[in-house]
């Protein structure tokens, strides 16, 4: 079978890693990279030994890819992904999928009409610990997520909700099979024009509750999810790709005894698993684990969170009564 010809559009920090991983995947040929910055395009292209372009049309015409990763700034996602889909190319588009739900719906219709693979880059779904957890979580009652890290100028076009919280929204939506009935959220700008710290409380129709805290101005780096079930408590460390399962057992003569399990499973690079999955879906003509509907739903919730944050900002501050 001929290798899948892939390209990467946008080779900044993350896009460079997409390009690198494609050169390492069996049955995949990286046929070119694109970036509006000609110096960046040349650096990455020459470093990987592949053609580089600054024009999207020239890339499509000369490199003739079968599939592409779209890793441009969020505001350009829709425009670039639509051009690729119209050319009949399979697309992996980084999160958040688009800036509006209507744009996501348009891409969905276009991909479906042309029978193309359209995958959204929610990379945490390919974290080995998350994949293990998704097979064992049964009845979550409460979920608590903390995603904290120091400030970086690398992401400047969106706030922390679309940059970081959307990961946790997607994970929780995949674990809780119920509709969301209520969202309360707060946020604050610290180092940028967008919210840099945000907190959201989410209530699902089945009674499950969730709390998400995200910050990109924290001196402490943390990527953790805790899940409470009726008879056990599960924690996941995204960075270490580790899972802990806590149970309390009633032993005769000893009362309650806490038992902690640390499951053992293979740990792999999430991006490599994600891109391998994308290429496999292209080869086999099947739908991806994280499709456009998943990306659209996560975007809808993220937008609802942002709306709540803006409402909170607009509320007048009550002054205490003077004596």
Give tens-digit pLDDT for 92-134: 999 999 999 999 999 999 999 999 999 999 999 999 999 999 9
Angle in degrees, 0-180, between the axes of helices 166-175 and 128-136, rounded to the nearest 10: 30
Q: How far apart are CA 163 and CA 214, in angstroms?
A: 10
Check whether the bond before 96 is cis (ω within 30° of 0). Answer: yes
pLDDT in tens, 57-85: 999 999 999 999 999 999 999 999 999 99
Of 183, 181, 141, 148, nearest in space to 163 by CA: 148
Q: DSSP secondary structure string, 59-119?
A: HHHHH--SEEEE-S-GGGHHHHHHHHHHTT-EEEEESS--SSHHHHHHHHHHHHHTT--EE
Which element (helix H / strand E) includes 41?
helix 38-48
Taking 60 as the threshold, does the pLDDT of residue 253 lie above it? Answer: yes
| Strand-pair partners of 67 | 6, 90
Task: Reply yes or no on whether the pLDDT at 316 is more than 60.
Answer: no
> How many angstroms separate the CA atoms of 35 and 47, rounded?
14
C-alpha 29/C-alpha 68 separation (Å) is: 11
Query: Any idea which residue has 């690079």 for tokens?
Result: 269
Residue 322 pLDDT > 60, yes or no? no
Of residues 314 and 64, more confidence is placed in 64
d(CA 104, CA 93): 11
Q: Select the more confidently predicted residue: 251 or 34.
A: 34
Residue 231 CA to residue 209 CA, distance in Å, equals: 17
> How many other β-carbons are positioned within 10 Å of the β-carbon of residue 323?
3
Half-sphere exposure of 271 (CA within 13 A, CB side): 14
Least confident of 22-31, 61-70, 148-157, 226-235: 148-157
Rounded CA-CA distance 158/296 in Å is 17
Summarize the confidence of residues 278-289 as an average pLDDT: 96
pLDDT of residue 249: 83
pLDDT at 50: 98
The string of pLDDT tens digits covering residues 191-220 is 888 899 999 999 999 999 999 999 999 999
Domains of the chain plus CATH, in order, are 4-122+271-290 (3.40.50.720), 125-268+303-311 (3.30.360.10)
Q: State the DSSP code for 154.
A: T
Which band of pLDDT confidence, cut at 50, 70 and 90, is reported for residue 155? low
Across the range 35-61, mean pLDDT stands at 98
Cα 254 to Cα 250, 251, 258, 259, 283: the distances in Å are 8, 5, 11, 13, 57
Asked if 19 and 44 touch (Cβ cutoff 8 Å), the reply is yes
């Amino acid at each position: 079978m001929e290798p899948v010809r892939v390209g990467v559009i946008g080779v900044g920090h993350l896009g460079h890693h997409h390009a690198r991983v494609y050169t390492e995947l069996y049955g995949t040929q990286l046929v070119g990279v694109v970036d509006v910055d000609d110096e960046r395009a040349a650096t990455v292209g020459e470093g990987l030994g592949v053609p580089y372009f600054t024009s999207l049309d020239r890339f499509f015409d000369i490199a003739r890819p079968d599939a592409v990763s779209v890793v441009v700034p969020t505001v350009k996602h829709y425009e670039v992904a639509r051009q690729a889909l119209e050319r009949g190319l399979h697309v992996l588009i980084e999160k958040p999928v688009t800036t509006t739900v209507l744009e996501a719906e348009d891409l969905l219709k276009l991909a479906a009409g042309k029978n193309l693979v359209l995958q959204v880059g929610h990379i945490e779904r390919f974290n080995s610990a998350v994949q293990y957890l998704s097979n064992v979580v049964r009845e979550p009652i409460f979920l608590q997520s903390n995603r904290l890290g120091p400030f970086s100028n690398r992401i400047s076009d969106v706030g922390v909700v679309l940059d970081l919280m959307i990961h946790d929204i997607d994970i929780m939506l995949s674990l809780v099979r119920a509709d969301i009935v209520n969202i309360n959220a707060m946020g604050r700008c610290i180092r940028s024009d967008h919210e840099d710290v945000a907190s959201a409380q989410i209530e699902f129709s089945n009674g499950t509750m969730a709390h998400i805290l995200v910050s990109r101005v924290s001196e402490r780096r943390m990527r953790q999810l805790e899940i409470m079930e009726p008879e056990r408590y599960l924690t996941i460390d995204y960075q270490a790709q580790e899972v802990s399962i806590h149970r309390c057992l009633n032993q005769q003569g000893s009362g309650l005894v806490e038992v902690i399990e640390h499951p053992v499973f293979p740990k792999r690079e999430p991006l490599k698993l994600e891109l391998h999955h994308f290429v496999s879906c292209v080869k086999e003509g099947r739908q991806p684990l994280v499709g456009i509907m998943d990306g659209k739903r996560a975007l809808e919730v993220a937008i609802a969170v942002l709306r709540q944050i803006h409402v909170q900002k607009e509320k007048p501050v009550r002054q205490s009564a003077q004596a």
